Chain A
Amino acid sequence: MKKSLFLILGIFLAIIVSDRIVYGVIKHFEKQIFIGDSAGKVNYFNKIKDSTDILIFGSSRAVHHLDPKVFGESCFNMGVDGKRIAYATGLVQTLKKKKQTVFVHIDHVKLFDSQYDGVDVLTLLNKTSDNSQLRSFLMDVFPEDVWISDVFKCYSYNGKVFPILKNYVFQNKNVKTDGFAPLAPDEEQKAIFKNMVKNRKDTLLRTLNKPYVVNPLVEKCIDRIIEMGRQNKSEIIFFTSPSLFQIDDEVRETVKSYFNSKGVNYIDDVDFFKGIDYDLWQDYTHMSVKGAELYSEHFYREFQELKNK
């Protein structure tokens, strides 16, 4: 039994020591990268967030659709593929600058998606040691994961090692970006998409089952973002970018009323483009660079109108 206890203790100690060493090495590399969705873009964001006037958050439908250039120099698009409201909230929690404008993308369907558990925010786990607001948000949503990452530090870099190493090797020394990532589908991709549309059997209109209940976690995130806006005297604007999937008018009205009741601005552009122009789209939910340019200009005008109200 004694031998066994020593073995268990030995394994535990070896894991803890190795964990700290590996974590230290990865962190050393990670700190120096400013490209890539897994860690670099967040580092870049942390570098510029307190000197930027306008910030855009959201999923692929934010990062590929809104060109910050239309807003001038001081705008950054912090949208990331596959990330949703919990991730955006985590980042918004870290803002300190007063009187910023913060755009947050939200999809109608996702607002009512009862399956959404906010797991996308866990990619920010490696930043909890640097930021207490982010840590408190994560503790609120995923306490287990924060505890595990306190004991096993490497846990916070789960799924990030290869991208960090790749970006460390390949990034340019003086990275400068506005975060926007336009999509430029090639002829083959266009043909595939055309084919998909041609063979599609069901309608592009999405409906939801009643009653429309906002996911409690999404609600919590929205409230946190609004609260941060109040504290920093920043302007918060939620928006829905264009999609070929259209949504029931009743759902759209419900979303509009929801944000009205919260006292925040909401821009719904889901039907900005009428019909399908294949030059403007990469797929059903993502616009091409051409579509994004047209939309960004339109969005800028909508923003000006809101400001002048």
Chain B
Amino acid sequence: MLFNSLAFIVFFILVFVLYWSIPSKYVRIQNILLLIASYVFYGWWDWRFLSLILFSTIVDYFLGLKIYNAKAKAKTYLVLSICTNLGLLGIFKYFNFFIESWVELWKIFGYDMPISTLNIILPVGISFYTFQTMSYSIDIYRKELKPTRDFISFATFVSLFPQLVAGPIERASNLIHQIEEKRYWTHKRLQDGIFQISIGFFRKVVVADSIGALIDTIYNSPDVHNSSSILMAVILYSFQIYFDFSGYSDIAIGTAKLLGFDFKQNFNLPYFSSSITEFWRRWHISLSSWLRDYLYIPLGGNRKGVLLQYRNLFITMLLGGLWHGSSWNFVIWGSIHGILLAVEKRFDLIPRRYKFLNNVIIFLAVSFVWIFFRSLSFEDSSIMIQKLFSAGYGIPYIGSMNILATVLYGLFLMILFDIYLFRSKINLEDVGSSLKTGTLICSITFITINILLFYSSASNFIYFQF
């Protein structure tokens, strides 16, 4: 079920009313309702993959308890948990990729390997919930978390529908106690939640989807477009992916608020960063902090010397890239970020006299690297980069003037809003309750009317494919 569908709106209203009709003291019944709702939400897409979530849930629930109770064998149970989760990812997400790459490698040496691939679909959100359950087991092993004994609470934690298919990757330490404790209705959560949901929808269906309609043609066939079109597509894609994914996170966080949960912030104005390091502190925070805590630091972090720190940064970002999808383009994208992070530790990427252009330079650098992320193949990325540095600039391909006008209008409003957030040092998560009731009503009305007038027809969220 997509957030930006009528089915979800009806579904959520029903769940919301039923959920709050249950008195807070019956928290277990509320959780059962949430669990059923989450499974319906996920099963709406493909009910067969519910078995996968259930399997992952059962395995990690029992292994969590085992890790906690076992003294000598805790590590074995942890390895079992990690292997199960990575095994699921390996089969459903990476198996075909590695097989195909293996075959291609041998082709270089003239051998034709007779290996066939699996005919499988990638289950939506598998990368998100497997990372979530893995962190649960690791936290218990590290004695940072006590496992829950309530299976319903754990199953609700794994599948809670606002964050099930595209994050944020919530940690058990933040979410499980919220699931187990009584939840009370607060007016502040309603104000913050409803405002954030409206902004999320605007970001997604007006800005991101309209940009997609404008630039997809260019990314799908870069060879027939001139340099100006390529440059336009590269810049606009940076905004598309930001507004698409942050929009999704906003709807997820806002929806969770309306159900009485506080999720962690997932985006904090990443394009206002003045370094790549800062960018990764502001972009997809739940993933970058996951990679930091469960990969970079265990690898040694910055504790084992400068050279090893560079290596650790590179490995972390390379695997972070691979997490996004089974394609060499994602590996390259992650690796470039790893190299940039490492170089940035040693040298100033931006000369001092250009420091005032920090934000712009970082934005352009990040936009440039997104080329690998969005292109359909490495060949396409090369064509785009080649064209960017060639002299073939002319009139860019605009397609529909109407879509372009919508894109510019949406971008203007959202960039202005982000500047407001940046200047006033306020998180989007708290804006709703900071406004007077009248202002809040007017803002949400303005946003809703704009969504009705300018939304672009429903398309998937980019991060669903990961």
Contacts and interface: CB of A to CB of B under 8 A. Distances in A.
Interface stretch (A62-70, A153-161, A202-210, A300-308): A153-161
Contacts of B455: 158
Interface in A139-163: 144, 148, 152, 154-155, 157-159, 161-163
Interface in A14-42: 14-15, 18-19, 22, 38
B306 interface: no
B190 A7 contact: yes
A15 B224 contact: no
A14 B448 CA distance: 10
Given A119-B457, A196-B224, A11 B444 contact: yes
Given A14-B444, A19-B452, 5 more contacts: A11-B441, A14-B442, A19-B449, A154-B452, A159-B402
Contacts of A196: 224
Contacts of B343: none
A1 B224 CA distance: 58
A10 interface: yes
B463 interface: no
B185 A4 contact: yes
Interface string B446-464: 1011001111110000000
A3 interface: yes
B437 interface: yes
A122 to B, nearest CB: 8
19 contacts: A3-B187, A4-B185, A14-B441, A14-B442, A14-B445, A15-B445, A15-B448, A19-B452, A148-B6, A154-B449, A157-B453, A158-B455, A159-B402, A159-B406, A159-B454, A159-B456, A162-B401, A162-B402, A163-B402
Nearest to A37: B402
A163 B454 CA distance: 12
Contacts of B457: 119
B187 A7 contact: yes
B442 A158 contact: no
Interface of A: 1, 3-4, 7-8, 10-11, 14-15, 18-19, 22, 38, 119, 144, 148, 152, 154-155, 157-159, 161-163, 192, 196
Given A162-B406, A163-B402, A152 B441 contact: no
Contacts of B187: 3-4, 7
Contacts of A161: 453-454
Contacts of A18: 445-446, 449
B194 interface: yes
Interface of B: 6, 185, 187, 190-191, 194, 224, 401-402, 405-406, 409, 437, 440-442, 444-446, 448-449, 452-457
Nearest to B456: A159
Contact of B194 (A11, A14, A163): A11
A11 B453 contact: no
Nearest to A36: B402
A1 B402 contact: no
Contacts of B406: 159, 162
Contacts of A152: 452
B394 to A, nearest CB: 8
A50 to B, nearest CB: 29
Most central of A3, A7, A22 by chain B CB within 10 Å = A7
A47 B182 CA distance: 63
B449 A7 contact: no
A22 B449 contact: yes
A38 to B, nearest CB: 7
Contacts of A8: 190
A39 to B, nearest CB: 11
Contacts of A3: 187
Given A10-B441, A14-B441, A162-B406, A155 B191 contact: no
B391 to A, nearest CB: 16
B244 to A, nearest CB: 19
A198 to B, nearest CB: 12
A10 B445 CA distance: 10
B149 to A, nearest CB: 32
Nearest to A38: B402
Nearest to A149: B452
A157 B454 CA distance: 9
Contacts of B448: 15
A144 B449 contact: no
B445 A162 contact: no
B103 to A, nearest CB: 23
Contacts of A163: 402
A144 B454 contact: no
Contacts of A1: 185
Contacts of A7: 187, 190-191, 194, 437, 440-441
B16 to A, nearest CB: 10
Contacts of A155: 452
* 8 A-B pairs with least C-beta separation: A154-B452, A162-B405, A14-B445, A4-B190, A155-B452, A14-B441, A10-B441, A18-B445
B453 A154 contact: yes
